[in-house]
Structure 1
């Protein structure tokens, strides 16, 4: 039985040592470490507390959370390579951010991902630099190793029982000669394996639960929920305060030392631009003053394209959903000459097809799905404001499948996923193809991918780290050319890693705290 904490309602002071904007993966981590160090922190969250809400606690209920009151309701703009479709981007609007509504996957990708960050100009962010912070996040069910942590804020477990569909993905991968590995966060990530989840005792373990709940009663932490950040206040070249709503009224709260932006890869660049920080041409177009010129704000948007999904007929009813509705994963190379795995697949205990596929195919009866996508995507997009006001319309464009090599890798992955499902090892479960309902020609597969393309919800990169003219933050996460402001969320990622972004963003939050405390 979970003992739910009470969120104290403290009077808002005029100022705090540090103000953190956003309570997701990065914001929760940096808040906890600062509070533990005795720093006086104000944490501002636009959404409600969401503590003890049954649908947020139940791992099997995460899909209906999309487009619910707990979701910002953002969309990717229409684009030609996805047949002009608008694609929804679930983003958590609640204490814990997207960790309160996501699929709970804990996966950090490959060491080469982080070495690539350093090679791109993020000095000090090689995997060897990041690994201690990954380990510090974790309370891994198998205990501490050189690569895994124990006793950290985030409980990480495998599903207690593996579902037949999850096992089918592993068996199908093995049938096409992919290795079976014990831990995707172990020495290597190529192969099929049972997934790591932020779950325990059948319940979600969000960043709010792991990092924030244990310290909500600390006198040096004030949490204000349902408080939308409106803008930053810049005085004499320094970020000095945050304007935000409290009980529906705008207030200005001072930061004596720093403001930490952790509002995510959509709302952090939006808040910067609303504060006059960004590309002067964009700010002028919006009628906003140019307070501090940074041409890279909103550029470099990246996400992993997801094919949602190949659907198959089941020989037997699958019963109630267990865990998050998945349970396993496989990473492999779409081409053998690649240096690391670039594609990824996961099981779904039911029908997971995008709407165009549901309209095209007969999806009645007992079904299961394999979703798959590209983890080393090359297509890059942007985030632009269409209106210069809080809550105004946005143009969020990932340019999914714009690069020919992305399309080619997805086509190869599609064929391999179809082979996995139909492998002889799965004859007890697989009862034929449903969506698509047969093997496809290349031209037909291209149509299928355009109709199936969706998002892994891994939006990142819009305020990237680096040292060049388009970098927004430096390698210590400080906004370039402006004092008093650091960024600690997925927007700082320079190159999208080959994994879910929750783990790397939590690691970024952990490192941000050490930078602020002078410990790194």
Structure 2
């Protein structure tokens, strides 16, 4: 990572997270092209806090987090919500909960229906598989030997085991693999953990190739603007060691800064809604109305807390250890609710001040994976460190509130099963059964985020689309995006795995590589049989 900077590269990848790490690795290993990867944060190598899987929550709000927040909204009682985003090599995969989960096949079929031609489940499955080193080995639906190690908890916490048993008592399926033929039911999670240590995108994709002579990785490099020759993107300006530096790309520049900083960089460079650019005093290079629009995230309740009958013991795995997907209404075609256990209290400041959470507490936290509320991102200033106005509009749609009420009710039902009888001493927060009106009030008090912002530079074909189905930024040449911002519709899962998949596809689009589709067809058939 200490290679000297050259004035010109074939490809420049901006952002070293779940998308950028993949693209940089795949481009560098295909031929003798010169690749530059720029990351605003430090290297992850040797950072014990990042490797420590069990204590990942200590990273939130710390030096490896950008520190972004969602703007206050009346639906959340005027609260501002933190959005942890990784500012370190590996991006958010270096500070997240390490969940590898791709959601339901209909998520990607919906992308294609929304205009992202060629992004149906059968087409994207081979790219998920290519990334995987799944502990059970390769199958029609899973991959092995890929850069990212994926394991189940080997010794689940008693609370995690209880969630599985409780789900079975209530008639929910208990499934062996949420990335298998069906994701409906309770299961142990897939975790990017190997040997008890975090297995981030940096560890999986970048560390093994960091010494390649054709790959330059520069950390502490803050991107501040793109430069163009006419309509062709030719170079990136960035600050490194306090000095503004510029590097040129002969072929392409790939943006992978995430759903917040990719639209920010585009707007700073004159690409976005002309009205917004005019307000910011930025000359219009390309009027793209969709930049910063269509922002989506999953609302999460922090959480439904219970008083434990005995001490919980040391934290295991990622502090959770079991998850559950189910439908808020039987007629739905796929699960819309998701919950996980927390080996400790799970509450924001408002809930913690309203309830007694002292002593031994654990939580089961539900959230909505098919929320319909949509937000947007605005720049308050075009300066690199300018303030942002990021509004997901959580709970703006009444249907989202109704689904979360159903999520709360299911957590209460789980806690009342025989499986939890030896673990639950009583409710803690809420500390009693609530009326419908009180449940809505609790939802507004406790609603937070799964940390899954996406969609702010959506893929498609219409005038609101920012990138085409090959991830090329519309209206300009030589510029692509490979991160969560291109998702036209939020998938019903943690976004790390889909972003890795997007990075894998982006590299193939750039190099013209065609991955064999036979596996995808077979696997789609397997899903249909299930």
TM over 0.5: yes
Q: Structure 1 residue 401 and structure 2 residue 395: aligned? A: yes
What is the alpha-carbon distance in structure 2 between the residues aligned to residue 304 and residue 125 of structure 1?
21
Q: Structure 1 residue 262 and structure 2 residue 256: aligned? A: yes
Task: Provide the residue aligned with 1:195 in structure 2.
Answer: 189
What is the alpha-carbon distance in structure 2 between the residues aligned to residue 248 and residue 16 of structure 1?
22
Q: Structure 1 residue 11 and structure 2 residue 4: aligned? A: yes
Q: Structure 1 residue 320 and structure 2 residue 309: aligned? A: no
Q: Structure 1 residue 32 and structure 2 residue 25: aligned? A: yes
Matched residue count: 513
What is the alpha-carbon distance in structure 2 between the residues aligned to residue 464 and residue 519 of structure 1?
23
What is the alpha-carbon distance in structure 2 between the residues aligned to residue 441 and residue 419 of structure 1?
15
Matches within 5 A, 1:109-128: 109-128=103-122
What is the alpha-carbon distance in structure 1 between the residues aligned to residue 349 and residue 151 of structure 2?
32
What is the alpha-carbon distance in structure 1 between the residues aligned to residue 8 and residue 322 of structure 2?
47
What is the alpha-carbon distance in structure 2 between the residues aligned to residue 452 and residue 177 of structure 1?
28
| Superposed structure 1 runs of 4+ greater than 2 Å apart | none
Please state how far the C-alpha of 1:55 moved relative to its aligned partner. 0.6
What is the alpha-carbon distance in structure 2 between the residues aligned to residue 223 and residue 45 of structure 1?
8
Please state how far the C-alpha of 1:425 moved relative to its aligned partner. 1.9
| Structure 2 alignment gaps of length 5 or more | 515-530
Q: Structure 1 residue 280 and structure 2 residue 271: aligned? A: no
Q: Which stretch of structure 1 is more off in the superposition, 355-364 or 269-278?
A: 355-364
Q: Structure 1 residue 23 and structure 2 residue 2: aligned? A: no
- Of 504, 507, 523 in structure 2, the residue corresponding to residue 513 of structure 1 is 507
Matches within 5 A, 1:437-516: 437-516=431-510
- 3-state SS in 1 of match to 2:217: strand
Task: Provide the residue aligned with 2:520 in structure 1.
Answer: none
Matches within 5 A, 1:42-53: 42-53=36-47
Q: Structure 1 residue 358 and structure 2 residue 333: aligned? A: no
- 3-state SS in 1 of match to 2:28: helix
The answer to whether the Cα contact below 8 Å between 1:168 and 1:421 also exists between their aligned partners in 2 is no
Task: Provide the residue aligned with 1:3 in structure 2.
Answer: none
Task: Provide the residue aligned with 1:370 in structure 2.
Answer: 364
Task: Provide the residue aligned with 2:48 in structure 1.
Answer: 54
The answer to whether the Cα contact below 8 Å between 1:20 and 1:259 also exists between their aligned partners in 2 is yes
Q: Structure 1 residue 249 and structure 2 residue 243: aligned? A: yes
- Of 128, 149, 157 in structure 1, the residue corresponding to residue 151 of structure 2 is 157
Please state how far the C-alpha of 1:169 moved relative to its aligned partner. 1.5
Q: Structure 1 residue 392 and structure 2 residue 392: aligned? A: no
Q: Structure 1 residue 134 and structure 2 residue 128: aligned? A: yes
Task: Provide the residue aligned with 2:327 in structure 1.
Answer: 333
Write out per-residue CA displacement over residues 313-350 of structure 1, whole angstroms, 9 at most, x where no aligned residue: 11111111111100110000010010000000000000
Task: Provide the residue aligned with 1:422 in structure 2.
Answer: 416
- 3-state SS in 2 of match to 1:228: strand
Please state how far the C-alpha of 1:50 moved relative to its aligned partner. 2.1
Please state how far the C-alpha of 1:368 moved relative to its aligned partner. 0.5
Please state how far the C-alpha of 1:176 moved relative to its aligned partner. 1.7
Task: Provide the residue aligned with 1:104 in structure 2.
Answer: 98
Q: Structure 1 residue 239 and structure 2 residue 233: aligned? A: yes
- Of 34, 59, 62 in structure 2, the residue corresponding to residue 68 of structure 1 is 62
Write out per-residue CA displacement over residues 87-119 of structure 1, whole angstroms, 9 at most, x where no aligned residue: 000000000000000000000000000000000
What is the alpha-carbon distance in structure 2 between the residues aligned to residue 171 and residue 396 of structure 1?
40
Task: Provide the residue aligned with 1:4 in structure 2.
Answer: none
What is the alpha-carbon distance in structure 2 between the residues aligned to residue 181 and residue 100 of structure 1?
28
- 3-state SS in 1 of match to 2:294: strand
Please state how far the C-alpha of 1:175 moved relative to its aligned partner. 2.0
What is the alpha-carbon distance in structure 1 between the residues aligned to residue 449 and residue 14 of structure 2?
25
Please state how far the C-alpha of 1:220 moved relative to its aligned partner. 0.3
Task: Provide the residue aligned with 2:525 in structure 1.
Answer: none
The answer to whether the Cα contact below 8 Å between 2:163 and 2:419 also exists between their aligned partners in 1 is no
Please state how far the C-alpha of 1:52 moved relative to its aligned partner. 1.3
Write out per-residue CA displacement over residues 474-516 of structure 1, whole angstroms, 9 at most, x where no aligned residue: 0000001110000000000000000000000000000000000
Please state how far the C-alpha of 1:426 moved relative to its aligned partner. 1.1
